[in-house]
Structure 1
Amino acid sequence: MPTEEITASAAGSWTLGDRTVRRMGFGSMRITAHPDTDRAIRVLRRAVDLGVDHIDTAAFYVSPGGTLNVGTGPARYATELIRAALAPYPDDLVIATKVGFAYDPETGLTIAASPAQLRAQVQENLRRLGRDQLDLVNLRIVKRPGRDSIAESFGALAELRREGLIRHLGLSNVRLDHLDEAQAIAPVVSVQNNYAIDNRGDQDALLRECGARGVAFVPFFALAGANREGGAHTDHGAAVRAVAAAHGATPQQVRLAWTLHQGPHVLAIPGTGDPDHVAQNVAAGALRLTAEELRTLG
């Protein structure tokens, strides 16, 4: 499908607390994978030029092996690349970040960050982004089988919100009982979970419940699906390929369009390290699928 003049506004908008964002955003995980810092900066600026006003990042999005040079000092973090590319920030730009991981040096396992570690991660995000307040902080949990309370961790972030360091709170990698627990502590504006056309798991019910509660549902790996960190799919199902051909679109655009069609509260955050792919992803927000196409894809 043509991409010229299509901006993020084509996807519509949603309100996160008191901040309205376009439903087509940008995920920054992949900008740390390429050693060319200038390229990462071009990608970020291209996204904002195309009207993207919701950028997703995390305290733990770090370049593999070595450092990246930004400005006069080293940078290894997506947050630093965002600052180098976009500061001073546009007034309408919402930067969502994630905290919550810690690593046990004895076992090498990922564990839940302690309240003190969460505070340190928030302060690190503030410093690397060059901000006095974080727009949105998602608590990324280490989900375990059975019931695992997030009250202590979410309560720690709620305290930082009361102190004015965080504007809004969200959750990542959670179940409905986690959302219930968090909402009893403080307002939740978003839930960010793994969800894709071919990797839905048990997320449909949570997606619908978020909509009923006015909470944004933000799928990650919408392009990668079960491939996850391996990157965007290249092996697409027959239905995706057929719908793409009918619209003169790419299969990746169909995957993003399907994501947005799951509800007005669903936000897309496709990530890429390729400046040319940014416009293609944003253009997917203008792709309108018919009811029959959605049934076929679903």
Structure 2
Amino acid sequence: MSGNTIAQVRLGTDGPLVGVQGLGCMGMSEFYGDTDEPAARDTLAAALDTGVTLFDTADMYGDGANEKFLAPFFGAHRDEVVIATKFAIERVGDDLAQRRVRNDPAYIRSAVEGSLKRLNVDVIDLYYMHRRDPAVPLAESVGAMAELVERGLVRHLGLSEVTGAELREAHAVHPIAALQSEWSLFSRDVEQSAVGAAAELGVAFVPYSPLGRGFLTGAFTDAAKELRSSDFRASQPRFTGENARTNAALLAPVRRVAEAHDATLGQVALAWVQQQAEVHGLTAVVPIPGTRKASRLRENTAATRLRLTPEELALLEPIADRVAGDRYPDMSSTSAARE
């Protein structure tokens, strides 16, 4: 697979035009071990060269460090990029496992000011609610987000990890341009209600971890032994113990499809999630695989030109039902917990 510039799609009914694949920037600051900053900056440049325009971050990535890291690149290319960031996860101390979800209007107003300052911009293109706090009425949270649009601080709104019912409720308060949730050959719980609601409302779907946090690339044969302790995946259920070995064995059909197309396993996984736009009648699916290497970025974007046959889609269909382990050790803040 090879190629240069990727196609564009629109986020939501009147949202921005973006490359059909975006870039998740979280790993450039933490979670996956040490980062080579010059290599990461080369990756940002390579992304823009290939037509990637949607760059995804959040205020909790690196406790603000990721937004600061991206600021110079955004400043140099402000008219060429679509900046997406998120609020709602408040970290407590240095322990990544210690956090709380905040959706109250006062917190939202404070969070956006912090992100604007760290990003060094006047307006955020796409502002997501990172996680949902059921204790706060959704209308209050989305109402506060809508006020940010009215004030000119934010252009478009997004939600992450919400159910179909929650998406409909939020969209009735203010148009939602994009729904971001985990969706991949390994993770398909969003198809229970969120995908259908997004298709019905004309909301774009932005899958995070479309490569199963790297598992779907075939990088691991026994992840429990191969991951460093500084890599947060070492504590994720799908990467530990017998689960890791079980899940590695599930990649045989992915490998078979990849060989048929002279593609990589990761490209097949990305092509699969991209093609779900047609399968489910979505206006757009814009996966945001994360990488810190320009070579991997080019490999990922080449997947936008890979077309799987109905027979290949059918071959890949059973994988998710056989995956061992949940997406997170604690699934309480995901949409799956509220279905």
TM-score range, shorter chain: 0.7 to 0.9
Aligned match of 2:308 in 285, 289, 294?
289
Shift of 1:174: 0.6
Superposed CA offset, 1:5-45 (max 9, x none): 33222xx4234424111211111111113343222211111
Is 1:22–2:19 an aligned residue pair? yes
Superposed CA offset, 1:53-81 (max 9, x none): 11111111117xxxxxxxxxxxx622122
Aligned match of 1:278 in 279, 297, 310?
297
Amino acid at match of 2:187: N
Structure 1, unmatched stretches of 5+, are: 64-75
Superposed CA offset, 1:160-217 (max 9, x none): 1111111000100111121122112111111111111121124254213212211001
Aligned equivalent of 2:218 = none
Within 5 Å, give how 1:6-85 maps onto structure 2.
6-9=4-7, 12-16=8-12, 17-33=14-30, 34-62=34-62, 77-85=65-73
Q: Distance in 2 between matches of 1:151 and 1:111?
A: 16
Q: Distance in 1 between matches of 2:35 and 2:20?
A: 29
Superposed CA offset, 1:66-125 (max 9, x none): xxxxxxxxxx622122222342224232111111122467x9442324322211211111
Give the alignment's TM-score, normalised by structure 1: 0.85
Amino acid at match of 1:46: A
State the secondary structure of the residue aligned to 2:148: helix
Structure 1 stretches of at least 4 aligned residues deviating more than 4 Å after TM superposition: 225-229, 231-234
Which of the two has greater helix per residue? 2
Is 1:265–2:284 an aligned residue pair? yes
8 A contact 2:184–2:211 mirrored in 1: yes
What value does the CA root-mean-square deviation take over the aligned residues?
2.6
- Per mean C-alpha deviation after superposition, the further-off stretch among 205-214 and 23-32 is 205-214
Q: Distance in 1 between matches of 2:78 and 2:309?
A: 35
Structure 2, unmatched stretches of 5+, are: 216-230, 240-246, 278-282, 318-339
CA spacing shift, 1:151–1:103, aligned 2, 3 Å: farther
CA spacing shift, 1:29–1:104, aligned 2, 3 Å: closer
Residue-pair matches, total:
279
8 A contact 2:160–2:180 mirrored in 1: yes
Give the alignment's TM-score, normalised by structure 2: 0.75
Is 1:213–2:189 an aligned residue pair? no
Is 1:187–2:168 an aligned residue pair? no
Amino acid at match of 2:56: D
State the secondary structure of the residue aligned to 1:262: helix
8 A contact 1:196–1:225 mirrored in 2: no
CA spacing shift, 1:296–1:205, aligned 2, 3 Å: farther
Shift of 1:224: 1.8
Amino acid at match of 2:158: G
Q: Distance in 2 between matches of 1:296 and 1:204?
A: 21
Aligned match of 2:188 in 200, 216, 221?
200
CA spacing shift, 1:18–1:174, aligned 2, 3 Å: closer
Which of the two has greater strand per residue? 1
8 A contact 2:165–2:197 mirrored in 1: no
